[in-house]
Amino acid sequence: MAEVKWIKIVTDVFDDQKIRFIETLPNGDAIVVIWFKLLCLAGKSNSNGFLMMTDKIPYTDDILASIFDRDIKLIQLSLTTFEKLDMVEIIDNKIYLSNWEKHQNAERLSEIRQQGRIRQENYRKKLECNANSVTGALQERYGNGDVTQQNKNKKEDIEIDNNTSTAARPKKHKYGEYQNVLLLDTDIEKLKAKFTDWQERIEQLSKGIELKGYKYKNHYLAILKWAEKDAPSKPTKPTTYDIDEYENSDVFGSFKR
């Protein structure tokens, strides 16, 4: 995805009815900041208003909390607010910014994506051309037979290396109720040494992956990260991130779209 370096913000944005309403809410200033961060992130994603980390992986509230360096409850509170005000939608478990075209020139975005595809196509052609030039030079010097044999030998060497590295790579095993937590035997030993409730922590991650679609490259490190969040922290300034109470309140009742 080609990244966009700008988004459209009108000078009277803070006169917008929804923005003014958000500012009256508890933690309103922080929620407004999250909104502009989402706009910038959508520009970087350049996925027609969807917040996508890659072509296949969408941003989740957990990931947003990490990259924005904000409390996950504040992220959830903000997304709940934006969804109630029709500023975002959740489509196929993907966060979509409603009226995204208002913040971007749709034609320009399409042009940027097309330019990105052309650059990739030209790059592939260049690599192919370079490979053909090298092959042609070798054929001219050694003849087709020798070049073919050299390529065959090289391919066999690569296959041997791949097989060797695969065989030597430690195997991960499936754990958890849903068999979706992948851990090495050494990971299990380290978890046993760190936590008396290590089995419960594996189950917690397994349920999170199954219910919310969490995606982690390393499940052992994910368990450690969750443990850090569960650990008691130093007292901080009280905040009002009670989402259940917030959603059930009539704070939106007086807002007229």
pLDDT in tens, 36-93: 999 888 888 888 888 998 888 999 999 999 999 999 999 999 999 999 999 999 998 8
Q: Give the whole-angstrom CA distance, residue 241 versus residue 31.
A: 11
2 Rama sector, left if φ>0, alpha if ψ -120 to 50, beta otherwise: beta
Bridge partner residues of 68 (DSSP) = none
Long-range contacts of 205-211 (CB under 8 A, 24+ apart): 205/176, 205/181, 206/175, 206/176, 206/177, 206/178, 206/179, 206/180, 206/181, 207/176, 207/177, 207/178, 209/176, 209/178, 209/180, 209/181, 210/177, 210/178, 210/180
The b-or-e profile of 50-76 (16+ CB within 10 A means b, else e) is bbbbeeeebbbbbbbbeebebebbbbb
Residue 235 has pLDDT above 60, yes or no: no
Q: What pLDDT sits at residue 101?
A: 73
* Residue given tokens 């592939």 in the structure block: 124
Residue 202 corresponds to which tokens in the numbers above? 């594996």
H/E segment holding residue 66: helix 61-68
Q: How confident is the model at residue 98 (pLDDT cuts 50, 70, 90)?
A: confident
Q: What pLDDT sits at residue 103?
A: 65
Q: How confident is the model over 135-193, as pLDDT tens digits?
A: 666 666 655 555 555 666 666 666 655 555 555 678 889 999 889 999 999 999 999 99
Q: What is the mean pLDDT of the chain?
A: 78
Q: What pLDDT sits at residue 203?
A: 92
Residue 110 has pLDDT above 80, yes or no: no
* Residue given tokens 């407004």 in the structure block: 32
User: What domains, with CATH codes, occur in the chain?
Assistant: 13-103 (1.10.10.10), 106-168 (no CATH), 173-230 (no CATH)
Three-state DSSP at 13 gives helix
List the one residue out of 156, 157, 138 whose CA is nearest residue 147: 138
pTM of the model as a whole: 0.43
Segment 100-109 mean pLDDT:
62
Three-state DSSP at 127 gives helix
